[in-house]
Structures are given as structure tokens and as C-alpha cells.
Amino acid sequence: MIRSLMSSLTPADKQGAVFGSIGAVETFCSLIGALSNNVIYLGTIKIMNGLVFLIMGAITCIGVVFILAYMYVARTRPPDDGDERTTKEVIIDAP
């Protein structure tokens, strides 16, 4: 979902770099997520058997809140005209 959102915001000549960066961040987050899940599980197993599932559910709810906030901001933002040229560019039409 993030890749599709980013591809609509990125020019065509920079989409490869964006996809590569997103792939690296996804891999990093997967590794950190697996480690943190194991640490949380080991820390909560002595307190309550199902506490780890409640904590992971709360983390998922935080992600949902961020997505809803993004959707709200994207909806209230004025539409872009789609013109990728800046005022500093010089465009020369060849005959």
C-alpha cells in the first residue's frame, strides 16, 4: 500500500530509488519487529500468557491511527496541478 501511494507522488525517473529505499526500510522493520516481538513475549510470559497479543494489538491500532491521519490530511490537502516543471527549468523544443 505504501509503495502504491509513493509511486503516485514520485516522478517516473525516481521510482526505482524510492522502491529500493522502501524495500530496505521494510527489511529493517521486519528484522526489528521480529526481535522486538520475541523480547516482548519473553518479558510478558511471566506476567500474563496473552499479554503479548494485547501489546501487539495496541501497536497495530497505532498504525491504523497513523493511516487514518494520513487519509485525513491527504483529503484536506489541495489537489496538485500535476505539472512537474519548475520555474527554473529551461525547456527547449527541437525542430
pTM higher than 0.85, yes or no? no
**Which tens digit of pLDDT belongs to each residue from 36-77?**
889 988 888 888 888 888 988 999 999 999 999 988 998 888
For residue 43, the one-letter residue type is G
Q: 11: domain range?
A: 2-76
Give, as one character, the DSSP assignment of residue 80. P
Q: Is residue 22 part of a domain?
A: yes
Q: Is residue 9 part of a domain?
A: yes
Q: Is residue 21 part of a domain?
A: yes
Domains: count for the chain: 1
CB of 7 closer than 8 Å to CB of 15 = yes
Q: Is residue 81 part of a domain?
A: no
What's the longest Cα–Cα distance across the chain? 77
> Which is higher by pLDDT, 5 or 21?
21
